[in-house]
Amino acid sequence: MSDDALHEKIRAEADRIIALGEASESQAPYEVNQPTIGTWLDAMGYDNDRFRQGEAPPSMAQVWTMPGLGRRRPPEDPLSRMTEYLTEVGYTAVLGTNCEQSYERYLRVGEQLRVTSALDSVVGPKNTAMGQGYFVTSRNTWYVGDEVVATMLFRVLKFIPKEKG
């Protein structure tokens, strides 16, 4: 298959997944809780009395809905679908590149979060120092009830590693 034909196939798959919108939703398995907040503060070497008394650091939003060990992302997760497709067509390596987060308010102990995920963009092919690849960006939104409490754009590079010479 020519490079142009492969790019068209990748573009078509990206467009199909993007058109699904917020195709994935996950409920946090646990409420926001003080023991997890305390463990996170200890692991980060960060302390603030505010976060020992019923509020969670804003940057913990993702913690509550991460799959963790033994759990998996939903099969309809758009980032997983796109990266799996790129793997199937030869873009086998992945490199995390960046994320942009925004926080609307602090979370409080006892709140239950859910997150929705959508594929935001697929850009490429790009020639990078790592090899030729596609930048895949997902958009995640965290809610308490219907209230948006945090958002994140998460970007990875899926690429074909350069041959070592």
* CA pair distance 57, 85, nearest whole angstrom: 35
- For the stretch 108-118, pLDDT in tens is 999 999 999 99
At residue 21, the 3 state secondary structure works out as: coil
Percent of the chain with pLDDT over 90: 72
Q: How many CA atoms lie within 13 A of 120 on its CB side?
A: 17
Give the other-Cβ count within 10 Å of 164's Cβ.
4
- For the stretch 6-30, pLDDT in tens is 999 999 999 999 998 777 898 999 9
pTM: 0.87
Percent of the chain with pLDDT over 70: 98
117, β-bridge pairs: 24, 140
Q: Looking at the predicted structure, is the pLDDT value of residue 119 above 70?
A: yes
Residue pair 134/156 in contact (Cβ under 8 Å)? The answer is no
Average pLDDT, the chain: 91
CA 74 to chain centre: 12
* Domains of the chain, each with CATH number or no CATH: 3-161 (3.10.129.10)
CA 142 to chain centre: 11
Here the tokens at position 18 are 């993007």
- For the stretch 56-66, pLDDT in tens is 998 898 899 98
Check residues 52 and 70 and name the one with the higher pLDDT.
52
Here the tokens at position 2 are 């020519």
Output the pLDDT for position 165. Answer: 61
